[in-house]
Amino acid sequence: MSSETHTMSVYSEIGKLKSVLLHCPGEEVENIVPDYLRRLLFDEIVYLEQARREHNQFADLLRNEGVEVIYLTDLMADILQNPDIRREFLKELMIEGKAVTEGLQEAILEYLDDLSPKELINKCIAGIRQEDLQHIKPKELGDMIKNAYPFYLDPIPNLYFQRDPFASIGRGISLNVMANETRNRETLFAKYIFNYHPGFKNVPRWYNRDKTHPIEGGDILVLSEKVVAIGISDRTSPVAVERVANNLLSSNEPIDTVLAFDIPKTRAFMHLDTVFTMVDYDQFTIYPGIEDPLDVYSITRGEKNQLKIKYEHKDLSDVLKEYLKLPAVNLIRCGDGDPIAASREQWSDGSNTLAVSPGKVVCYNRNIVTNNALRKNRIEVLEFDSYELSRGRGGPRCMSMPLFRESI
């Protein structure tokens, strides 16, 4: 097991990116079938070979910028070498995957028994089909009933969006509760990595996956060492936002303000980072369709250590100027102000940029109008192919979880 220790440190969206966690799509994507698209939260079928080519381009582009690329499956393979952790992980994965009858669990464990740690983790993500298990010794009614559903364990195809299951904030993480049951097993991987991987020991948690209210990493933006923005969205509850704020503001972190962005609750605006990201010290991309309905609340520490929550009556750029202590703020609009281009390019994540350093961002190449608007505002844009990855409705920021950024 790799014992290299990774210091977590994320105090901005734009500080030079040094280390990032990714998951390259695998066989789980080929287990998406039309009948179960909605259940697995996809709109379309993804062509795996091309998706992997694009993801490798993305990873290479980051490496060329001096970023250490760490894969989730490698970290999991490290810890699954321990037979006790392997047993505990499989038991929990089966229970959360609803494979709970005794006969089925025995058959699954027998099927996985000979696999190496790397093969095991890939199979757990890919899902277990009915034809994978030759024989289940019926021990309970659930083992005997015929079922047309093709999986004993569902695939986990959304896992290439590494932004959501946990979020790095300062030196700690928010280990999230996902809004959809389909995605909740994704947070198990982070739980095991942060519990057991020697490289990630003793990382504080600002939230935990055993809580009741959902919050997803796409809604969490670390704007500066003092200010975190969290979206109240289709996938993140105000209760969770307040709890994370409470934990952050009572910790030793320098963070003194959480800005809660209340955005429209629709699939198109799934997370805050699908409509708003930071690209430079004083520049942000934004989807124009959220500017009018956007409400912002500031959460700070008041008297007697109580949280103080205030509705901000100003428009977004004034709120950002005030809390980030900037003389001016430039909002670069997705689609460069053209409502048709904005709507089309927001659908393929034109506003979902990943900054590798101040003023230098990674974007999908398909969002031509928005990428040119960024360049007009002196932002350097690094592009890669996006035929297939974009079908999952997430962009470069969605696919990456920074573990370390240099301070700015």
Q: How many CB atoms lie within 10 A of CB 230?
A: 28
**Short-list 347, 330, 331, CA closest to 339:** 347
Tell me how far apart the alpha carbons of residues 166 and 385 are, in angstroms, rounded to a whole number: 26
Question: Beta strands 295-301 and 307-312: pairing type?
Answer: antiparallel
Tell me how far apart the alpha carbons of residues 163 and 401 are, in angstroms, rounded to a whole number: 5
Token readout for 21 is 């966690």
Q: Which residues contact 233 (CB under 8 A, 6 or more apart)?
A: 216, 219, 263, 265, 269, 270, 271, 272
Tell me how far apart the alpha carbons of residues 12 and 408 are, in angstroms, rounded to a whole number: 8
Tell me how far apart the alpha carbons of residues 217 and 176 are, in angstroms, rounded to a whole number: 7
Identify any residues that bridge with 19 across adjacent strands, giving them in sequence order: 68, 404
Catalytic (active-site) positions: 398
Tell me how far apart the alpha carbons of residues 402 and 380 are, in angstroms, rounded to a whole number: 19
Report the length, in residues, of the chain: 408
**Short-list 228, 170, 166, CA closest to 197:** 166
Which residue is associated with the tokens 């089925």? 104
Q: How many CB atoms lie within 10 A of CB 223?
A: 20
Tell me how far apart the alpha carbons of residues 396 and 408 are, in angstroms, rounded to a whole number: 22
Q: Which residues contact 171 (CB under 8 A, 6 or more apart)?
A: 7, 8, 9, 203, 204, 253
Single-letter amino acid code for the residue at 160: Y
Question: Residue 307 burial (CB < 10 Å; 0-12/13-18/19+)?
Answer: middle
Greatest CA span in the chain, whole angstroms? 70
Token readout for 328 is 């001016």
Which residue is associated with the tokens 């190449």? 365
